[in-house]
């Protein structure tokens, strides 16, 4: 029964490449649908602007996260994880748990296989629950009384306030300095909105770097 | 406003959005088949991998409920099919909210305002798509030669500095969006909403840190507290 030539990772590369390519195409289908059916598409220059903005914010994460989670996720896990997401908070714990329970040594093929199985189970759970929430959410939205519906006008400030508090608690100094810079820049620097975004994101990165320098010099 | 809702929740948008979910399911099925084949070839006993999968299942249930509340918020802005697709695929709820907001801000429209029509919606859709493709593209290009990359990068760069930079970039983005919500609108209710939600988040993170699984819902709970506080004053 044992086939010494069997290489799980290698066999997953082909599957991974094909399915990720499928994911990349599927990712744009709703945008293309809006364009074809309703003629709603940003001009090309604006698409570039949008890309520049999201790249300035998440570009480092695009590159760094798949690399830094690779030792934990393995080849198969990386292909599955970076299509369906939630790698840090859901997928990598599930994979680690599967590894722990199955008790195969680190770096063995057996370990990678049970990790991948754990990860796939986690992905199915996420997709199933998200689907339930989507349908339930639609029902709930339809039933909401007008007063509650009006309250959703204040949703985004609440979400962003909460996210900001969460991010700042990782590094309070960078949180305070960056928000002060953002208020100052928005109030006194008369430049168009999207360059404002770039400027403030750059200030966030610069401030974090300065704090890093400051902290490492102190030691 | 209602015309937009009809487009967002129409059959066409459901079909366009379901393709991504389908790709995810197909991918998982193919990888599971390969993993079962591998388990067979390498002689992994059934009870061992079944135990691993059971453990993964129970680890996931709690955290996977997290986006339940925030989903309603996302549904109010982009409609049901898009919220469903985007929470199934790579972006987390908060990065989707960030991406859709900065994208519609390119034409100066706030996703929470009455001006948010099909044009701004198409900007948001591109924002989310261009953001999510980043991770997929990098995974596509690098995964098969990753082992070498990890070793060489760890030699060249300080892991800690990179962590500071990625957090700094997110802090910058949300500082912009948050300050913009407050400076541009001059609406006291929005300020109250932001502050109340921020305080709730801090309270859950530090004050109630012992309550198990509460953190997974913290963003949703903070959202509700913020909205309630703004409506009540």
Whole-number pLDDT of residue A61: 87
Tell which B residues from 168 to 227 touch A, by Cβ distance under 8 Å. 168-184, 189-191, 193-202, 205-206, 218-219, 222-227
For residue A163, the chain B residues in CB contact (below 8 A) are: 94, 97-98, 174, 201, 219
| Mean pLDDT estimate for chain B | 89
Q: Name the closest residue on chain B to residue A89, using Cα atoms.
A: B63
Least confident among A36-40, A49-53, B6-10, B156-160: B156-160
Structure-model confidence comparison of residues B200 and B65, the more confident one:
B200
Residue B64 banded pLDDT, cuts 50, 70, 90? confident
Dihedral sign for Cα B194, B111, A60, A9, please.
positive
Cβ–Cβ contact A191 with B under 8 A = no
From CA B146, how far away is CA A71, in angstroms rounded?
A: 9
Say if residues A165 and B189 touch (Cβ distance below 8 Å).
no
Least confident among A13-27, B89-103, B141-155, B190-204: B141-155
Whole-number pLDDT of residue B62: 81
Tens digit of pLDDT for each residue in A47-66?
Answer: 999 999 999 999 988 988 88
* Distances from the Cα of A167 to the Cα of A46, A53, A82, A137, B139, angstroms: 29, 19, 22, 27, 25
Q: Which two tokens stand for residue A188?
A: 């006194």
| Burial of residue A89, with CB atoms counted within 10 A of its CB: 0-12 exposed, 13-18 middle, 19 or more buried | middle
Q: What is the mean pLDDT of residues A112-139?
A: 93
Tens digit of pLDDT for each residue in A14-26?
Answer: 999 999 999 999 9
For residue B16, the chain A residues in CB contact (below 8 A) are: 29-30, 32-33
Q: Name the closest residue on chain A to residue B130, using Cα atoms.
A: A51
Whole-number pLDDT of residue A1: 46
* Res. B126: pLDDT tops 70: yes
* Res. B2: pLDDT tops 50: yes
Q: What is the mean pLDDT of residues B38-47?
A: 93
- Tally DSSP H helices, then E strands, for chain A: 8, 0
Three state DSSP letters for B48-108 = HHHHHHHHHHHHHHHHHHCCHHHHHHHHHHHCHHHHHHHHHCCCCHHHHHHHHHHHHHCCC
* Res. A182: pLDDT tops 90: yes
Q: Which two tokens stand for residue A129?
A: 């629950």
Tens digit of pLDDT for each residue in B66-118?
Answer: 788 888 889 989 999 999 999 999 878 888 999 999 999 999 898 988 899 99
* Distances from the Cα of A206 to the Cα of A182, A209, B166, B171, B176, angstroms: 13, 5, 11, 11, 15
Whole-number pLDDT of residue B205: 87
Tell which A residues from 41 to 80 touch B, by Cβ distance under 8 Å. 41-42, 46-47, 49-51, 53-68, 70-71, 75-76, 78-80
Q: Select from B63, B132, B230 the Cβ nearest to the Cβ of A154.
A: B230
CA angle A74, A75, A81 (to 5 degrees): 80
* Res. B153: pLDDT tops 80: no
DSSP conformational letter for B205 = I
A119: part of which helix (H) or strand (E)?
A: helix A109-143
Q: Select from A30, A64, A194 the Cβ nearest to the Cβ of B125.
A: A30
| Residue (of A66, A57, A106) closest to A204 by Cα position | A57
Q: What is the mean pLDDT of residues B107-131?
A: 94
């Amino acid at each position: 029964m044992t086939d010494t030539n069997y290489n799980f990772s290698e066999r997953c590369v082909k599957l991974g490449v094909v399915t990720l390519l499928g994911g990349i195409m599927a990712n744009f289908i709703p945008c293309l649908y809006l364009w074809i059916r309703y003629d709603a598409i940003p001009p090309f220059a604006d698409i570039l602007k949008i890309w520049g903005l999201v790249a300035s914010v998440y570009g480092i994460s695009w590159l760094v996260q798949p690399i830094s989670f690779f030792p934990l996720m393995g080849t198969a896990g990386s292909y599955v994880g970076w299509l369906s997401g939630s790698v840090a908070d859901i997928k990598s714990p599930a994979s680690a748990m599967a590894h722990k329970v199955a008790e195969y040594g680190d770096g063995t093929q057996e370990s990678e296989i049970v990790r991948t199985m754990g990860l796939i189970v986690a992905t199915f759970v996420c997709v199933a629950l998200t689907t339930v929430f989507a349908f339930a959410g639609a029902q709930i939205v339809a039933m909401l009384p007008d007063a509650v519906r009006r309250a959703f006008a204040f949703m985004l400030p609440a979400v962003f306030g909460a996210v900001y508090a969460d991010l700042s608690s990782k590094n309070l100094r960078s949180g305070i300095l960056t928000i002060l810079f953002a208020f100052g820049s928005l109030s006194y620097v008369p430049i168009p909105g999207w360059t404002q975004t770039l400027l403030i994101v750059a200030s966030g990165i610069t401030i974090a770097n300065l704090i890093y320098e400051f902290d490492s010099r102190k030691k | 406003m209602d015309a937009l809702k009809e487009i967002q929740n129409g059959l066409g948008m459901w079909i366009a959005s379901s393709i991504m979910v389908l790709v995810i399911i197909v991918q998982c099925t193919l990888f599971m088949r390969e993993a079962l084949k591998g388990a067979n070839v390498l002689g992994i006993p059934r009870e061992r991998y079944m135990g691993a999968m059971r453990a993964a299942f129970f680890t996931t249930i709690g955290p996977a409920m997290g986006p339940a509340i925030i989903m309603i918020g996302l549904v109010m802005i982009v409609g049901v099919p898009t919220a469903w697709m985007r929470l199934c695929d790579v972006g987390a709820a908060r990065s989707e909210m960030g991406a859709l907001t900065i994208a519609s801000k390119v034409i100066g429209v706030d996703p929470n305002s009455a001006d948010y029509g099909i044009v701004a919606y198409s900007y948001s859709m591109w924002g989310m798509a261009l953001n999510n493709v980043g991770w997929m593209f990098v995974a596509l290009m690098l995964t098969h030669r990753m082992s070498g990359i990890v070793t060489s990068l760890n030699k060249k760069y300080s892991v800690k500095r990179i962590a500071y930079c990625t957090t700094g970039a997110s802090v910058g983005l949300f500082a912009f969006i948050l300050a913009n919500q407050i400076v541009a609108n001059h609406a006291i209710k929005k300020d109250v909403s932001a502050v109340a939600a921020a305080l709730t988040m801090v309270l859950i993170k530090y004050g109630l840190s012992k309550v198990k699984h509460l953190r997974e819902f913290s963003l949703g709970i903070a959202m509700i507290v913020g909205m309630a506080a703004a409506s009540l004053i």
